[in-house]
Amino acid sequence: MPNPENPVTRRSRLSTNTVLTLVVLLAAAVVFGGVLLFNGSKSDGADGTRSGGSTVAADVLRKPDSNTLLDKPGAEVTIVEFLDYQCPACAGYYKKITKKLEEDYAGRITFVTRNFPLDMHPLAVPAARAAEAAALQGKYREMYHELYDNYLSWARTADGSQASADLNGAQARFDEFARRIGLDLDRFHRDLNSETVTQRIERDRADGRRAGVSGTPTIFVNGSEFSPSGETFADVEEQLREQIEQELAR
């Protein structure tokens, strides 16, 4: 357009606008279409196989800074577990199911853990604080493993019959874990009761409630709640693996 004053080119001025608008619309249509097609084909098969029916929003289940045991960028399968460190069933899941999943699916899936400390467990919140305080030093996974690997040493009474309420004893164990995984102990102590840690735990709890979690462990596979029908850990494990494999194959 060498001469914008020319009435003849004024027409083409208008058409530049029209052309550009059409280009923008076309580009948008292509992008939208692509996104819809791509995601549509991914979840098409889901309706038949997804047992839970409705899914929970990804941003409820996982915040950008949520702790992970496995983190594969763009993973096809994301598992989210709402857990309580003092809950026996969670410890059972850990020992019999999720610890193995962590090893077997390393590099293939994303495994997110969220706090859902239950009121019935007096040490659940302190343990969650320990895990989050370790997370602030980049050692969440290590602390998670320490807490569950040594579950009996802090979470249960000496005879193992019930949930321990011995806060000092547990705290001493957490310090030991912290030293073992190489945390800066002073900072760990400061962080334990920090507002940041409180907020993170409360946020997880709130998200859990939004996702319909009422007990622990509650596991979501790609947004739909995993509801095992099996009686034994082995059955549950098999079902969970089956679901993961299905989602991976999709």
Partner 1 sequence: MTAERAGAPAASEASSSVRRLGWLYVVGGGVGLAAAIALILEKLATLANPDHVPTCTLNPVVSCGSVMDSPQATAFGFPNPLLGIGGFAVVVTVGVVLLCGFRPPRWFWLGMQTGTTFGVGFVHWLIYSSLYDIGALCPYCMVVWVVTIPIFWYTTLHNLTSGHLTPGGRPVALVLARYHTVVLTLWYLAIVVLVFEAFWFYWRTLL
Q: Which spans of this chain sit near partner 1 (rule: CB under 8 A)?
A: 5, 7, 13, 16-18, 20-21, 24-25, 28, 32, 36, 39-40, 43-44, 54-59, 223
Q: Which amino acid is at 131?
A: A
| Closest distance of CB 62 from partner 1, Å | 12
Percentages of the chain per state (helix, strand, coil), in multiples of 5: 60, 10, 30
Helix (H, G, I), strand (E, B) or coil at 85: coil
CB nearer to partner 1: give 15 or 199.
15
| Closest distance of CB 223 from partner 1, Å | 7
CB nearer to partner 1: give 5 or 119.
5
Please answer whether residues 49 and 246 qualify as being in contact, where contact means their C-beta atoms are separated by less than 8 angstroms.
yes
**H or E stretch covering 193:** none
| Closest distance of CB 98 from partner 1, Å | 25
Which residue matches tokens 């996104």?
Answer: 35
CB nearer to partner 1: give 59 or 195.
59
| Closest distance of CB 143 from partner 1, Å | 31
| Closest distance of CB 175 from partner 1, Å | 41
CB nearer to partner 1: give 5 or 159.
5
Alpha-carbon gap, residue 84 to 107, rounded angstroms? 25
Output the CA–CA distances (angstroms, integers) from residue 126 to 7, 18, 58, 101, 201, in the order listed.
77, 63, 27, 26, 11
CB nearer to partner 1: give 17 or 51.
17
Please answer whether residues 111 and 79 qualify as being in contact, where contact means their C-beta atoms are separated by less than 8 angstroms.
yes
